[in-house]
A and B are shown apart, each in its own frame.
Chain A
Amino acid sequence: MARLGMVIDTRRCVGCMDCVVACKTENDVPDGHCRDWISQRLEGTMPSLRLTITSERCNHCDVPPCVTCCPTGASHVHDYGKVVLVDHDKCIGCKACLASCPYGARFVHPDGYADKCTFCIHRVEKGEQPACVAVCPTHAMHFGDLDDPHSEVSRLIAARRHFVLKPDAGTRPRIFYLE
């Protein structure tokens, strides 16, 4: 397992929030917080409009500022798939990572530690898909190894026009949105 990432097809996403509900249920996300969310971007003026819907979460960046700024090393890059995770026991809840993340992906869990999307690593290590990817009713979401040129995610990125969120932030995010 080299580098795990996601490809999300914005043409198929209808903003149903099944991914949000699935994540909440799978990961016991506390009330009032979310590990993933739906964003909508409307461009143009009536009647020439363009709506882009994106399902967003931690981008498990290649250059993660949340890891660099963590004083205890709680925020770290996991060996398996190079997923960015938080060690709950080491986290002191200082919120430096919340401030450093350009995507607003993190929140403080009521139990005191910084929390965010884990790419459902507990499922992935068992050969399953992340919960959000598994439930998407329009099959808009894809997950896999970005370092494998033959993986579905690699092939989609090679074949279709795509964008990442905040490319100027220098984070090299690992979630690619298909146009």
Chain B
Amino acid sequence: MKAAGYSLAELKQKGLVKGPKPPLYFEDGITPEFATPSGKIEFYSTQLAEKGFDPVPHFVRPEPGPAGSFRLLYGRAPVHTFSRTQTNPVLRDAMAENEVWVNASVGARLGLASGNYVRLRNQDGVLSNRVKARVTEAIRPDCVYLVHGFGHTARGLRSAFGKGASDAQLITRYVTDPLMGGTATNVNFVTLEAEA
């Protein structure tokens, strides 16, 4: 608070203190300045070099998964919100379960057709609930995709229980960006097991 110019006493007295709103853009004619040693936007960062990081970002190819496995990708469908709307009757009518997207050529090779049920097993041996396959051109051959929020395990959620597979359950590993600490979860690999 001290750095921002406020004190606890002031905050207690005022209740809510709003700081000044910084301008969104620099005005014409004003030379912009940035919080870097040179005051300019730096494509080569001496600060990063000094700390032992790459001063210019270099692409590092992601680690592939075990042979025969697929990188697990997950995303959102506009119909549902997180994992909390799967019991909503109207939304369930529109989308009752998620599907695992498998590339068409992979499906042909594995003898998998849309509508077949499979289970996903990840690199740490975690086995998912049964989930319907969607064999499609819309996913890369080295990846599979699930919409997040399904595969509920709470029996009390009667209408969502056991519907689809949980991506979250299969995400047992993550990696952290060494520079800013962000976490990436698309580093889990699954194999498909046919479900009778």
Whether A24 contacts B90 by the Cβ 8 Å rule is yes
Shortest A54–chain B CB gap in Å is: 15
Question: With A and B bound together, what is the CA distance between A114 and B89 in angstroms?
Answer: 23
* Known A24-B93, A25-B90; contact A16-B136, beta-carbon cutoff 8 A: no
Whether B140 contacts A46 by the Cβ 8 Å rule is yes
Interface string of A28-45 (1 = CB under 8 A from B): 000110100000001011
Closest to A46 in B: B137
Shortest A123–chain B CB gap in Å is: 19
Shortest B165–chain A CB gap in Å is: 21
B: interface residue count bin: 10 to 19
Interface string of B134-150 (1 = CB under 8 A from A): 00111111000000000
Asked whether any CB of chain B lies closer than 8 Å to the CB of A175, the reply is: no
| Residues on A facing B (Cβ under 8 Å) | 14-18, 20-21, 24-25, 31-32, 34, 42, 44-47, 49, 51
Whether B78 contacts A49 by the Cβ 8 Å rule is no
Q: Tell me which residues across on chain B come within 8 A of A47, comparing CB atoms.
A: 140
- Cross-chain contact of A31 among B93, B139, B141 (Cβ < 8 A): B93
Shortest A56–chain B CB gap in Å is: 14
Cross-chain pairs A/B with CB under 8 angstroms, 23 sampled: A16-B78, A16-B79, A17-B78, A17-B79, A17-B94, A17-B95, A18-B78, A21-B90, A21-B91, A24-B90, A25-B90, A34-B93, A42-B137, A42-B138, A44-B137, A45-B104, A45-B137, A46-B103, A46-B104, A46-B141, A49-B137, A49-B138, A51-B138
Question: With A and B bound together, what is the CA distance between A54 and B141 in angstroms?
Answer: 27
